[in-house]
Amino acid sequence: MKIDILHIDACPNWEDAGRVITELIDELGIAGAEPTYTLIRTPEDAAKVAFAGSPTILIDGVDVDPGSAPTTDLACRIYRNGQRTAGLPTKDALREAILSHQSPQ
């Protein structure tokens, strides 16, 4: 399982996203999974990857919150949870995304 966190330098949420993902990997006992971090510095950097705002979290190349359009804007991302918004997905949403990409044992 490959987990990528795409982020801009000014984003206050990318480190929390990494922390939550690392906690979930440990809780779920997934060996060999560790998030990688990619700093998006320019619109050209953003255009080369599936960047949908910071942080964009990809598991095996798939956005954990599908439906967001890729962008070259160097901006923070807003995640929706019902009527609430946040700077990163909920821990439950991230757990679901990780489990959906886990290979059968």
The amino acid that residue 24 corresponds to is L
DSSP 3-state of 33 = coil
What is the full per-residue pLDDT of the chain (105 aa) written as tens digits?
999 999 999 999 999 999 999 999 999 999 888 899 999 999 999 999 999 999 999 999 999 998 889 999 999 999 988 788 999 999 999 999 999 987 655
pLDDT at residue 32 in the model: 84
What domain range is 19 assigned to?
Answer: 3-101
pLDDT attached to residue 82: 79
Count structural domains, the chain: 1
Please give the pLDDT value at position 66. Answer: 84
| Closest to 76 (Cα-Cα) out of 6, 4, 3, 1 | 6
CB 71 within 8 A of CB 46: yes
pLDDT at position 104 is 57
